Amino acid sequence: MNAMSTVSPVQPETSALERIQKLESEYLLQNYARYPLLLQRGKGCYVYDASGKRYLDFIAGIGVNALGHAHPRLVKTIRAQAGLMLHTSNLYYHEYQGPLAERLAKISGLQRTFFCNSGTEAMEGALKMIRSHGRKISPEKHEVISLHNSFHGRTFGSLSITGQEKYRRDFEPLLPGAKFVPANDVTALEQMFSERTAGIVIEWIQGEGGIFPMTTEYARKARELADRFDALLVFDEIQCGVGRVGKYFAYQLADPVVLPDIMVAAKPLACGIPLGVIVANERAAKAIGAGMHGSTFGGGPLACRVALDFLDILEGLLPHIDQAGAYFRGKLEALRPRFPFLKEVRGHGLMVGLDLSIPGKQIVLDAIEDGLLINCTHDTVLRFLPPYIVSEKEIDRAVRILQKTLKAAAKRGDAS
Ligand SMILES: Cc1ncc(COP(=O)(O)O)c(C=O)c1O
C-alpha cells in the first residue's frame, strides 16, 4: 500500500462551539435558535466564551443575573449551603422559607408567599388562585382578562392568557375563558369586565412584548374594576420586578402604589438558582387551602438562602439602578438624532428597550461579534437588561459598541 494513501488530508480543527452545536443538533429538541456563542464563565458584568474572549453582558440571562456573574457573597453562600443540604422537600421545614416570605411581605405590601421554580410555574399557581376564587362565588365566574401583546409563560395556563398569537396557535385549544384587551385602553377594559371575570393579569411593563409600560391610570382602573366585580388583580413582575426598575416591584413606580391582590416574580430572585414566587394578600390567599397546590422543588434551602442574600444587597442597590438606568437611557436618547431608524427609547431603571424601524437581528449579531450581549424582542426592539451592578463606565462601553453596530446598519442600508 502506498504510504501516502494512508495520510488523511489535514482537517480544519473543530472548535469547541462546533462540537457542542453538532451534539445539540442531534440530541436536543430543536426549539431554541441560539446565538453562535459558547459561554464558559463570568465575572461581574462580563462573560467569557470558550476561547477566552470577553463580552459585556447587557442581557444578563434575560434579566436573571441581577448581581452579574460569580458575585463573591453569593458564591460563598452557595458553597456553604451545598455542603450542608440542597433539598428538603416541602414535607419538612428548613431555615430559609419563613424569613424569605417575611422579607417578601415587607417589600411587596402583600402577605403570603408560595415558592416554586420558574415564572410560568408562579403564573400557573396564580391562575389556579383566580379560578378557585371565582368558583367560590359562582361556577360562571371563571374568565381571566389579560392584555394584547403580553407574555406570561409557556405552560398551558400561562400560554392561554399570553396575548401574542404566535406563542399560542400551535397548541390550541387552550384554557377557556381567556379574554384579551388592548393595553392602556381604559374604555375597552371597562367593557370587558363582567360578573364572569374572576381575575385580570397585567405586566406593569411588557417585556417580551417590546418594553411597553402600563399607564398608572390604566392600572388604577384595573384595581377599581377588580374590586367592583370581586375579581383578583394579578401583576406579573417576572421580568420587570425585584429591583429591575429601581423599585422592589414595578407597581411601586406609581405614587400612591397600586397594590395587586397577587404578584408573581421569578427571574432575578435567586440570581440564577431557579426560584419563583406567588405573593398574595389575605383575600387572595384564601383561594388556596390545604392540599390544593404544591411543588417538589419549590423553595429549597439553596434558592431561598441565596434570595435572602440577594435582597440584602438589593436594598442598597435600588438608587443605583435608578441612576444607572437614567444615565443609560440618556445615552441612548443622544444616539437618536444620528440614526433616523432609532424610533424610541422606552423603559424604567435597567429595563430598557430601543425601538427601531428596521429589524434588529443583525445588530444583535454584530454587537455580539464586537463584545456586547443584548437581544431583540418583537423583531425590532433591542432589549437591554444589564446586571444591577453595572457602572457608568460599562454603560459607556456598551453604548460605544452599539454605536459601531448602528453605523454598520446605516451603511448597509438596513433602513431602506
Ligand atoms: C413577564 C413574564 N412572565 C412570565 C415569564 C415566564 O417565565 P419563565 O420563563 O421563568 O417560565 C416570562 C419570561 O420571560 C416573562 O417575561
Ligand 1: atom nearest CA of 121 is 11
Q: What is the mean pLDDT of residues 75-81?
A: 98
Q: Whose CA is nearest to atom 16 of ligand 1?
A: 239
Ligand 1: does its nearest atom lie under 6 Å from the Cβ of 212? Answer: no
Ligand 1 centre distance from Cα of residue 202 (Å): 13
Ligand 1: atom nearest CA of 239 is 16
Q: According to the model, what pLDDT value does residue 380 have?
A: 97
Q: What is the mean pLDDT of residues 99-118?
A: 98
Ligand 1: does its nearest atom lie under 6 Å from the Cβ of 386? Answer: no
Q: According to the model, what pLDDT value does residue 255 have?
A: 96
Ligand 1 centre distance from Cα of residue 138 (Å): 30
Ligand 1: atom nearest CA of 150 is 1
Q: According to the model, what pLDDT value does residue 1 have?
A: 41
Ligand 1: does its nearest atom lie under 6 Å from the Cβ of 124? Answer: no
Give the whole-angstrom CA distance, residue 210 versus residue 247.
Answer: 20
pLDDT at 10 over 70: no
Q: According to the model, what pLDDT value does residue 234 have?
A: 99
Q: What is the mean pLDDT of residues 321-326?
A: 98
326: which residues sit within 8 A by CB, 6+ positions away? Answer: none
361: which residues sit within 8 A by CB, 6+ positions away? Answer: 376, 379
Q: What is the mean pLDDT of residues 41-57?
A: 97
Ligand 1: does its nearest atom lie under 6 Å from the Cβ of 118? Answer: yes
pLDDT at 185 over 90: yes
Ligand 1: does its nearest atom lie under 6 Å from the Cβ of 298? Answer: no
Ligand 1 centre distance from Cα of residue 12 (Å): 41
What is the full DSSP assignment across 393-404?
HHHHHHHHHHHH
Q: Which three cell numbers stand for residue 183?
A: 393595553
Mutate to test the pocket of ligand 1, among 118, 155, 211, 238 (most ligand atoms within 8 A of CB): 238
Ligand 1: does its nearest atom lie under 6 Å from the Cβ of 375? Answer: no
Which H or E run includes 81? Answer: helix 72-82
Q: What is the mean pLDDT of residues 84-90?
A: 98
Q: What is the mean pLDDT of residues 7-26?
A: 85
Q: Which three cell numbers stand for residue 365?
A: 449579531
Ligand 1 centre distance from Cα of residue 351 (Å): 14
Q: What is the mean pLDDT of residues 49-61?
A: 97
Q: According to the model, what pLDDT value does residue 12 have?
A: 67
Judge residue 253's burial from the number of C-beta atoms within 10 Å of its C-beta, 0-12 exposed, 13-18 middle, 19 or more buried.
Answer: buried
Ligand 1 centre distance from Cα of residue 361 (Å): 21
Give the whole-angstrom CA distance, residue 160 versus residue 167.
Answer: 9
Q: What is the mean pLDDT of residues 176-188?
A: 98
pLDDT at 9 over 80: no
Ligand 1: does its nearest atom lie under 6 Å from the Cβ of 238? Answer: yes
Q: According to the model, what pLDDT value does residue 415 have?
A: 64
Q: Which three cell numbers stand for residue 296?
A: 417538589
pLDDT digits (tens, 9 = 90+) for 241-300: 999 999 999 999 999 999 999 999 999 999 999 999 999 999 999 999 999 999 999 999
pLDDT digits (tens, 9 = 90+) for 377-393: 989 999 999 999 999 99
What is the full DSSP assignment across 171-219?
G-S--TTEEEE-TT-HHHHHHH--TTEEEEEE-SEETTTTSEEPPHHHH
Q: According to the model, what pLDDT value does residue 7 have?
A: 59
Beginning with the edge strand found earlier in the chain, give each strand of the sheet holding 54-57 in spatial order.
Answer: 39-43, 46-49, 54-57, 372-373
Judge residue 72's burial from the number of C-beta atoms within 10 Å of its C-beta, 0-12 exposed, 13-18 middle, 19 or more buried.
Answer: exposed
Give the whole-angstrom CA distance, residue 319 versus residue 404.
Answer: 30
Ligand 1: atom nearest CA of 118 is 10
What is the Cα 369 distance to its own chain's centre? 24
* Confidence at 4, pLDDT banded by 50, 70, 90: very low
Q: According to the model, what pLDDT value does residue 416 have?
A: 58
Total residue count of the chain as it appears in this document? 416
Ligand 1 centre distance from Cα of residue 207 (Å): 9
pLDDT digits (tens, 9 = 90+) for 126-150: 999 999 999 999 999 999 999 999 9
What does pLDDT average to over the chain?
96
Q: Which three cell numbers stand for residue 155?
A: 405552560
